[in-house]
Amino acid sequence: AVKPSYDPNYFNQYSRDFWRNRAVTDAYEPGSTFKVITIATAMEERVVNLNDQFYCEGWTKYNGTVFHDIHQHGSQDLTDIVKNSCNIGVIQTGTRLDEKVFEKSIRRFGFGALTEINLPGEINGLVRSTKDWSRISLASLSIGQEISVTPLQLIMAVSAIANRGTLMNPMIVKEILDSAQNKIKIFKPKPVRQVVSVDTALTMTKILEQVVNDGTGTRAKLAGYQVAGKTGTAQKFDFSTGKYSEDKYSSFFVGYVPAENPKISIL
């Protein structure tokens, strides 16, 4: 479901902006929501573990370029850097990865390709090959820059974590009934591939629970349910200056519930 929506019977009463299914027709830099992919990949490749320590003094330099964080988080472990959405800690983690390994993982999560949901206007988004990366792309990608994704791609990728590491083919029709309510066709869920191990996915879920419990995502708490999720605030690129804007952002939350046995994903 996409909101805000419109009544197609009276489409002429709505702006053309409402006609698009933004879940598949629009692409955005995912910002900090993409840290889920970075950390899951790093754990899967065993370049990081839960006990590793990171130090954030509010900035770091990678290949001559300074990256900033809005806070000085100090000493943190892996759960902390996700819970606090610490750019510095995630960059320190992501840059441990081999570039080709990271690109392959990004694509295995479904980014840069059509989901084949069979809705009109779907676009691929943008994932560049490593041969087109700059000297800072590994760091930038780690925090969700230099990539554009559709909302459907993003929720599909995070749902793979919810599904114990299995990427699923998105569906919009469960079954077709005849006039007597008999089922004449059933569409069964189709796994695409295993993107990370079950252990990595379960560990990532525990980390994402802490984001909601006492991290940047506390507004997503639901009474009686454990929610797992990740916030994201992505700077918009200003094409007039060729730089990221200092005052224009896209804000996201992506998550799933109940965390221990997910039934619903939402972005």
Helices (H), 171-235: 198-214
Query: Regarding predicted confidence, which is higher, 11 or 228?
Result: 228
Q: Which of 57-61, 162-166, 244-248 has the lowest mean pLDDT?
A: 244-248
- Provide φ and ψ at 32, rounded to 5°: -70, -15
Q: What count of Cα atoms within 13 Å lies in the side-chain half-sphere of residue 171?
A: 13
Give the right CATH number for 8-165+191-266 from 3.30.360.10, 3.40.718.10, 3.40.710.10, 1.20.1090.10. 3.40.710.10
CB-CB contact of 76 with 54 (8 Å): yes
Which residue in 32, 85, 137, 142 is the catalytic one?
A: 32
Helix axes 99-108, 35-44, angle to 10 degrees: 120
pLDDT in the model for residue 59: 97
Q: What is the pLDDT of residues 95-153, one digit of tens each?
A: 999 999 999 999 999 999 999 898 889 999 999 999 999 999 999 999 999 999 999 99
Give CA 2 to chain center in angstroms.
17
Average pLDDT over residues 195-212: 98
Whether the bond between 258 and the residue before it is cis, its omega within 30 degrees of 0, is yes
Give the start-to-end residue ranges of the domains of the chain. 8-165+191-266
pLDDT in the model for residue 10: 81
pLDDT in the model for residue 20: 83
Element (H, E) at 193: strand 191-194
Mean pLDDT, the chain, rounded, equals 94
Q: What percent of the chain has pLDDT over 90?
A: 81
- Provide φ and ψ at 161, rounded to 5°: -65, -45
Query: Regarding predicted confidence, which is higher, 2 or 54?
Result: 54
Average pLDDT over residues 239-243: 78
Q: Is position 32 annotated as part of the catalytic site?
A: yes
pLDDT in the model for residue 18: 76
Q: What is the pLDDT of residues 17-35, one digit of tens each?
A: 777 888 899 999 999 999 9
pLDDT in the model for residue 79: 98
Name the band, by pLDDT with cuts 50, 70 and 90, for residue 221: very high
Q: What percent of the chain has pLDDT over 70?
A: 100
Name the band, by pLDDT with cuts 50, 70 and 90, for residue 182: very high
Name the band, by pLDDT with cuts 50, 70 and 90, for residue 189: very high
Q: What is the pLDDT of residues 40-59, one digit of tens each?
A: 999 999 999 999 999 999 99
Per-residue 3-state assignment (H helix, E strand, C coil) for 93-111: HHCCCCHHHHHHHHHHCCC
